[in-house]
Amino acid sequence: MSPDAASAESLLAFWAEAGVDAMLLDEPVDRIAAGKIAPPAPPARKAAAAAPAPSPLRAANQPDVSAAIAQARELASAADSLDALVAAIAGFDGCPLKFEGAASQAVVYRGDPAAALMVIGEGPGADEDRQGQPFVGRAGQLLDKMLAAAGLTGRVLITNTVFWRPPGNRTPTPQEQAVCAPFVERAIALVQPKMLLLVGAASAKSMLKTEDGILSMRGRWREWRSADGALELPAMPTLHPAFLLRQPAAKKKAWADLLTLTERLDRPDRPTE
């Protein structure tokens, strides 16, 4: 085979691999002129069919969150003590968690009713549901050790954003937290702490009304405000002890957050003029 023939065969093989299946057309084509012609408009798509309106039966089965929040707000405002608040929560049926995940009573709080610091977690788990107190499982034991190391034993009140265990220990939904929020705010008003420690992403997002991630929030002071704007407190988001049990290397970050909070908590109050 001559060198020219070998080159031609090689070139043909290259074109074949590239997908070229014709060397010449029956009629010449002016590619430059063809490029000046606008392509035809694509056919119009059919409009999507409107979603059917929900049936009255389905609408009736959906929880009326606004009504539940209004009822919670009314019951919470009438509570003039933490004992009265616990009773109001126990008698409240507006949160679906009471009938879905909880096996026993509402889990409201533990600690000093006049605490300088309120610790607010996400929701009770199996141990908390069984014992009726927040943060008593492995995560709670770690939290207690951290609080003790920071000199905060006996100076805190611990609660959650919801008072009944979510099924399977899942994260409470924003709707479930919103229904319980009036009770949480009333607890803060009754305790009158100096500041809040928000434990975990779900707690920080709910209390601070934000979608920021916990890793970007932790260790930085935020301002918590009640729904009516009457209460305002400094709040420190931090990592949840359950996360620290899974990721021990992150404990130093949570410890740094706790030291920052303790330093501010123990700072002498400015003299009033």
**pLDDT per position as a tens digit, 15-38:** 555 445 555 555 666 656 655 566
Does any domain span residue 25?
no
The proportion of the chain whose per-residue pLDDT surpasses 90, expressed as a percent, equals 70
H-run or E-run covering 116: none
Contacts for 70 with CB less than 8 Å, ≥ 6 apart: none
Question: Average pLDDT for residues 252-256, to the nearest whole number?
Answer: 97
Does any domain span residue 210?
yes
Does any domain span residue 47?
no
Joined tokens for residue 37: 């012609």
Question: Average pLDDT for residues 98-109, to the nearest whole number?
Answer: 87
- Residue 61's pLDDT is 47
Instruction: Report the candidate in 7, 193, 174 with the shortest Cα–Cα distance to residue 97.
Output: 174
User: Does pLDDT of 205 surpass 60?
Assistant: yes
User: Does pLDDT of 160 surpass 80?
Assistant: yes
Does any domain span residue 53?
no
Contact 233, 193 (CB under 8 A): yes
Question: Average pLDDT for residues 3-9, to the nearest whole number?
Answer: 64
Q: What are the pLDDT digits (tens) for 48-74?
A: 444 444 444 334 445 568 999 999 999
- CA 196/CA 68 separation, integer angstroms: 26
Give Cα 156 distance to the centre of its chain. Answer: 23
pTM reported for the whole predicted model? 0.76
Does any domain span residue 51?
no
- Residue 268's pLDDT is 78
Pairing of strands 222-225, 232-238: antiparallel
Question: Average pLDDT for residues 118-130, to the nearest whole number?
Answer: 96
Structurally, the chain folds into a number of domains equal to 1
Mean of per-residue pLDDT scores for the chain? 86
Q: What backbone phi and psi angles, to 5 degrees, belong to 199? A: -100, 110
Does any domain span residue 39?
no
Question: Average pLDDT for residues 243-262, to the nearest whole number?
Answer: 97
Segments forming the whole domain that contains residue 70 = 62-265
Q: CATH number of the domain that 200 lies in?
A: 3.40.470.10
Contact 94, 182 (CB under 8 A): no
Does any domain span residue 205?
yes
- Residue 2's pLDDT is 62
- Residue 22's pLDDT is 52
The proportion of the chain whose per-residue pLDDT surpasses 70, expressed as a percent, equals 75
Does any domain span residue 123?
yes
In terms of Cβ atoms closer than 10 Å to its own Cβ (0-12, 13-18, 19+), residue 174 is middle
